[in-house]
Structure 1
Amino acid sequence: MTEVPGGVAIVGAYEHPTRYAPDKSEWQINAESAKGALEDAGLTPAHVDAFFTSSTASEGGYLGGCAAVMAADYLGIKPNFIDETDVGGASFGYYVNRAVLAIQSGMAKCALITYGANTRSRNIKVGTIGYNQLSVQEVLPTPDSFEQIYGTTVVSFMGMVAQRYMHDYGLTSEQLASVAVTMREHAALNPQALYRDPLTVDDVLNSPVIASPLHRNDCCVISDGGAALVIVHPDLIPETKKKPVRILGFGESYMGHGGGLTDWAAESREMVKRACDQAYRMSGLTPQDVDTAMIYDAFTLNVPIDLEGAGFCGIGEGGAFVADGNLRLDGGSLPTNPDGGGLSSNHPGRRGIFLFVEAVRQLREEATGRQVPGARTALCTATGAAFLARRGSAAHLLGV
């Protein structure tokens, strides 16, 4: 049995307010986010002895390789423990896990996790970059070489997964569209959200098809942005300013071809399930104990798949679950992404860190205008890609 993380807590959380910042570099957004999270925690850079960060390097991020070393130097900190594990947008969930392990091991007492990107202002088309656009020198003989030559993109991969889910389980475009509509309803309550205008199912279905069956409004927005978290050993909690949010359980999992052909749709769900099952076992909680969920909605499809994997509905029932209004702040059984998510609020390229920021706001009762009443527990799930079918998921249960 995995040991429950003993009192390790998130004590600082900050989301950079920008959605378009052509006057700011990725470094500056990263630093301003770090400053905001440390101030939120009531701690200083001198407290930080573990550091984690990630750059949107595949889309030309300035930090690029050695991001943790470069950013630590830029921030003027000297951590004992650093990491920049790259699992795409799920990287930040993995950092939370490693921060807990570093603290439990005695290597650190205060971990800082940061992210910053100016993807929108640099006009980077996240998710639509063809991997065959890399130069010949950059294309190494790796497992994805047999896919790169066909120009596969993230969105085309997700379109294929959606087609399979529709074939196997009867998922419909209308059900997926309802996810985008709900996220836009929530974004209307968030003054920082990129898009806040009303959206209907017809609006989604009438928007251009990007990768059949996914329409433009089934895909996340592209924004600038940044965020940071501060995670500490319980010994430091008396020095902090606000209600600590405990990390009750966590898990992570991986999917790939496994040496043969894979049902990407089913394996995506099962990967999420493996990560969530670890988190449930560690925390002693069940899906029925969760008050609100933060799901990485790079595409509308991610939401029903993750809900099935997390045990909120049966296999093949995710479409009906989202279409029946269960995600809505207004009367839903599982209010999801109250900030508007990646579909309407922000998505600078890697959104996993923003799930934690919103979860902390909800559990501290700081989400003015979009507060989930009585929220005591939150589930965060994020899936990111190393390359399309080689993907990883992270799951977390947080509570107060």
Structure 2
Amino acid sequence: MNLRDKAVVSGVGETRYVRAPGSGKTPISLQLEAALAAIADAGLKPTDIDGLIPFAIGPLVAEDFITNFGIPDLSFSALTPLGGASATASLQCAAAVIASGVCRHVLLSLGRNGYSGTRITSRIAAMPQFRVVGEFEVPTGAVAPVQFYAPIARRHMELYGTTSRQLGEIAVTMRRHALLNDNAVMTEPLTLEEHQAARMISDPLRLFDCSLESDGAACVVVSAADHAKDMPKRPVFISGVGEGHPESPSAVSQRADLLAFGTHKAARKAFHMAGVQPADIDVAEIYDCFTFIVLRQLEELGFCAAGEGGAFVQDGGIALGGRLPVNTHGGLLSQAHVGGMNHIVELVRQLRGEAGRAQVQGAELGLVTGFGDMCDGSVAIMRRG
């Protein structure tokens, strides 16, 4: 089924993002708050929602929304359990059930108290995917994503001469974008020298190469395309979607090619469905769990060739005004870690022209990615209506 333009993102909503000992709100209350904001943004009522896709490893299930919102007739619920690729993958799932006629308005939800509550190592250990690394990675002491990806980054450096300073360019750019965003937890500038002086977390990844832990929630409403005429905001059409998984085996350290992510497969499908090329993209929100993952995704998405990611990000290439503005909200590195749902929110605002000081002028076509813990990839291409 070709899902091109069969669905629109009709509403987006988010809470305040905080990084403090206690936000005073549970993950459930955070998501309900963001969901109500997204539903109102779509010009709908909570009872209009007939499909739900909560975050796969989050605390909410469909019944929580049914009970709290009084949803009278839910037609569909699902999970997309791909870790950091889940949010963007849920766009494909929502578009598919809408195109098939099962639903008209699907709510996608993601939120957590990742700073004041459950931290990353505990969350990863609770994921079904964690058993994949139990045989090879865990016995060596690798129990967190940074330890899974550090050898991949080192491999790229050895093959192509990529440097830590080039990774630092990504961190510095994300911070610069976050300073334009009133809902970002990082509010102080970051210099390349500060990046280089920061402590090593897992060689070659330093402190500022790693994404944040934060509290907050973001939600998105996906609606049937014919709802566009009734929306209070400019519609944003989902033109291409794709999901991809790396080659077997699933254990990252045992793959023949450490640099082959699922992103390439997902991108091929999404670009084909949308009928566009990488050169057509005006703005990109790229999942940035680590700086290196942004660099490699740029290559796998086709914005540059393998080994050219370092050169691509240098000299303002991914900054506002550069050849491809990336993560205009500050991303997971400097805005907040909301599993990539905040990336979708930002892309929608960019295509509506609502991104404030970070607005990419004339943005009509954008791309958002997700990246899962076993290097799964998800891609969505959206256009301004």
TM-score range relative to shorter protein: over 0.9
CA distance in 2, matches of 1:140, 1:197: 35
- Deviation, structure 1 residue 151: 3.2
- Deviation, structure 1 residue 205: 1.1
1:200 aligned residue: 191
CA distance in 1, matches of 2:272, 2:376: 19
2:330 aligned residue: 340
1:47 aligned residue: 48
Which deviates more, 242-251 or 77-86?
77-86
**Is residue 2:69 matched to residue 1:100?**
no
Opposite residue 255 of structure 1, the aligned amino acid is: P
Opposite residue 372 of structure 1, the aligned amino acid is: V
What are the residue-to-residue correspondences of 1:368-387 with 2, within 5 Å? 368-385=356-373
The CA RMSD measured in Å over matched residues stands at 2.2
2:383 aligned residue: 399
What are the residue-to-residue correspondences of 1:130-209 with 2, within 5 Å? 131=125, 142-147=131-136, 148-152=138-142, 153-209=144-200
Q: 1:71 to 1:338 in 2, by over 3 A?
A: same
The answer (yes or no) to whether the contact 1:9–1:245 under 8 Å persists in 2 is yes
- Deviation, structure 1 residue 174: 0.5
CA distance in 1, matches of 2:352, 2:129: 47
The answer (yes or no) to whether the contact 1:51–1:72 under 8 Å persists in 2 is no
Q: 1:264 to 1:354 in 2, by over 3 A?
A: farther
What are the residue-to-residue correspondences of 1:1-400 with 2, within 5 Å? 3-20=2-19, 22-54=23-55, 57=57, 62-63=59-60, 67-77=61-71, 78-122=73-117, 124-126=118-120, 131=125, 142-147=131-136, 148-152=138-142, 153-258=144-249, 261-263=254-256, 265-268=258-261, 271-329=262-320, 331-348=321-338, 350=339, 352-385=340-373, 390-400=374-384
- Deviation, structure 1 residue 100: 0.5
- Deviation, structure 1 residue 204: 0.7
CA distance in 1, matches of 2:180, 2:66: 35
Opposite residue 392 of structure 1, the aligned amino acid is: D
Opposite residue 22 of structure 1, the aligned amino acid is: S
Which deviates more, 16-25 or 278-287?
16-25
CA distance in 2, matches of 1:371, 1:180: 20
Q: 1:170 to 1:37 in 2, by over 3 A?
A: same
- Deviation, structure 1 residue 347: 0.6
SS of alignment partner, residue 13 of structure 1 = strand
- Deviation, structure 1 residue 238: 2.6
- Deviation, structure 1 residue 4: 4.2
Opposite residue 340 of structure 1, the aligned amino acid is: G
- Deviation, structure 1 residue 110: 0.8
Opposite residue 145 of structure 1, the aligned amino acid is: G
SS of alignment partner, residue 375 of structure 1 = coil
Q: 1:253 to 1:320 in 2, by over 3 A?
A: same
- Deviation, structure 1 residue 86: 1.0
Q: 1:335 to 1:128 in 2, by over 3 A?
A: farther
The answer (yes or no) to whether the contact 1:161–1:264 under 8 Å persists in 2 is no
Which deviates more, 22-31 or 46-55?
46-55
Size of the aligned set, in residue pairs, is 377
Q: 1:165 to 1:263 in 2, by over 3 A?
A: farther
SS of alignment partner, residue 147 of structure 2 = helix
SS of alignment partner, residue 259 of structure 2 = helix
- Deviation, structure 1 residue 197: 1.1
Q: 1:118 to 1:282 in 2, by over 3 A?
A: same
- Deviation, structure 1 residue 17: 1.8
Q: Deviations over 1:187-209 (max 9, x none)?
A: 11111111121111111111110
Q: Deviations over 1:272-305 (max 9, x none)?
A: 1111111110011001110000001010001111
**TM superposition score normalised by structure 2:** 0.92
CA distance in 2, matches of 1:175, 1:23: 38
- Deviation, structure 1 residue 210: 0.4
Opposite residue 46 of structure 1, the aligned amino acid is: T
Which deviates more, 94-103 or 7-16?
7-16
The answer (yes or no) to whether the contact 1:384–1:393 under 8 Å persists in 2 is yes
Opposite residue 398 of structure 1, the aligned amino acid is: M
- Deviation, structure 1 residue 29: 0.4
CA distance in 2, matches of 1:140, 1:335: 32
Q: Deviations over 1:348-400 (max 9, x none)?
A: 4x2x2111100011000101111001000101111112xxxx33210011001
The answer (yes or no) to whether the contact 1:113–1:229 under 8 Å persists in 2 is yes
**Between the two proteins, what is the percent identity of the paired residues?**
34
SS of alignment partner, residue 51 of structure 1 = strand
CA distance in 2, matches of 1:106, 1:34: 23
Q: 1:156 to 1:105 in 2, by over 3 A?
A: same
Q: 1:125 to 1:27 in 2, by over 3 A?
A: closer
